Amino acid sequence: MLYVSLGAWCQVAQQLKNHTGERFVSSAFDWTVSSLKSVSKIIETDGNHFCEGLSLSKPSNSLICDAYGILYHHEFKRDENNESVWTEEGRNEAKSKLTHKHKSMASKVRSSGQCVTFVRFGGHAEPLVAWPYAKDHAAVQETELNHVVQAIEKEFPDVPFRLLFVTCPTAHLYKVDEAKLDPRIWPLEMRHRHGSDWAGASDDWAQVVARIPNSFEKLSADSARETSPFEGINDDFDLLDMFTKDQIAALNRLISRRLSSYIKIG
C-alpha cells in the first residue's frame, strides 16, 4: 500500500509521513495549499503548469498561480515584510522542483504494482490561506469529488486506488449525497481538536491510518459501494477527547490485568 497526499494543506503530508513511513510517496501537494479544483487540473495536465500566472495573495503573503489555483507558501523567499518575492530565477526553480515531484510520484504509482490511497483533507480550501481550519467558501458537491476520481483513473488506469476525503465539520462545508459518490471515495469527518496546530492531532490521524486496509480490489465507477473501513471511528475520536493517549494506554493495561485475573480465577 502506498499513500499520496492531495492537499489541501501540509498537515496531510506531515501526518502520512509520520504514520506510514516509507509507504508515503511525496508529491507536489505536500507543502503547498491547493484548491479542490486544482487537484484534477494538475493530474490531468501531468503537472506541467506550476507557477504560471503568479500574484501575491493576502493574508498569507504568499504567491498563487492562475494556472492551477495553488498557494506557494514555502516555495519562494520572503522580504523584510514577510511577503513572498517573485523572481524569474525563483519561479523557474520552484516550477522545476514541483514538476519533478509530481512526475516522480506519478511514475512510482504506475510502476509499484501496489494499491494506492490518495488522501485529501479539506473541502474547496478557498479562499486560499495557509491555515487548515479556515472557513470554506462553499459546500463540496458530489460531482467535484467524482471528477477527482475520474482524473486519477484516467492517469492511472491499472492502479487499484481509493480517495480518502477528510473534512473538519466546523470549517469545511461537506453536504453531499454519499449514494451519488464514486464507490472509490471514502468520506470521513475529523473534528478540529482543541489546541491542534497546523499539523493537526497525531492521535486522530493514527486512528485513521490504522483503519486503512493493506490492500483492496480495483473498482470502477459502476461498482457497488463497499462498507467503509471508517464506520464507528467517531467513537474512537470521542474516547481521545475524554482521555489522553497515555491515560487510554494505562486504562487498557488495567483492563487487561483485570481480565487476566478473572480468567485465572475461573
DSSP state letters, 197-223: -TT--HHHHHHHHHHS-S------TTS
What helix, strand, coil percent values describe the chain, rounded to 5? Answer: 40, 15, 45
> Element (H or E) spanning 117, and its range?
strand 116-121
Q: Is 156 helix (H, G, I), strand (E, B) or coil?
A: coil
Q: Which residues contact 56 (CB under 8 A, 6 or more apart)?
A: 62, 63, 64, 83, 84, 86
Residues 135-159: pLDDT tens digits?
Answer: 888 899 999 999 999 999 999 999 9
Query: Residue 31 is which amino acid?
Result: W
Query: In the sheet where 54-57 sits, what is the strand order?
Result: 33-34, 70-72, 62-65, 54-57
Do the beta carbons of residue 79 and residue 56 sit within 8 Å? Answer: no
pLDDT band, residue 242 (cuts 50/70/90): very low
Residue 15: the pLDDT is 96
Q: What single letter denotes the amino acid at residue 86? A: W
Structure confidence by residue, pLDDT tens digits, 54-108:
999 988 899 999 999 999 999 999 999 999 998 999 999 999 999 999 999 999 9
Tell me which amino acid residue 214 is. N
Question: Which of 187, 192, 161 lies closest to 174 in space, CA to CA?
Answer: 187
163, pLDDT greater than 50? yes
Count other C-beta atoms under 10 Å from residue 212's C-beta.
19
Q: Out of 144-158, 186-200, 236-250, pick the least confident.
A: 236-250
Q: Which three cell numbers stand for residue 109?
A: 504509482
Quick count: other Cβ atoms within 10 Å of Cβ 203?
Answer: 15
Name the band, by pLDDT with cuts 50, 70 and 90, for residue 244.
low
The stretch 246-265 carries a mean pLDDT of 57
pLDDT tens string 35-56: 999 999 999 999 999 999 999 9
Euclidean distance between CA atoms 193 and 195, whole angstroms: 6
CB 232 within 8 A of CB 190: no
What's the pLDDT band for 260 if we cut at 50, 70, 90?
low
d(CA 247, CA 266): 29
Give the mean model confidence (pLDDT) for residues 208-231: 94
Provide the pLDDT for residue 134. Answer: 85
Q: Phi and psi for 97 in degrees, rounded to 5?
A: -65, -50
pLDDT at 58: 87
Model confidence at 243, pLDDT cuts 50, 70, 90, reads: very low
Q: What percent of the chain shows pLDDT beyond 90? A: 70
C-alpha cell read off for 124? 474547496
Q: Give the other-Cβ count within 10 Å of 59's Cβ.
A: 9
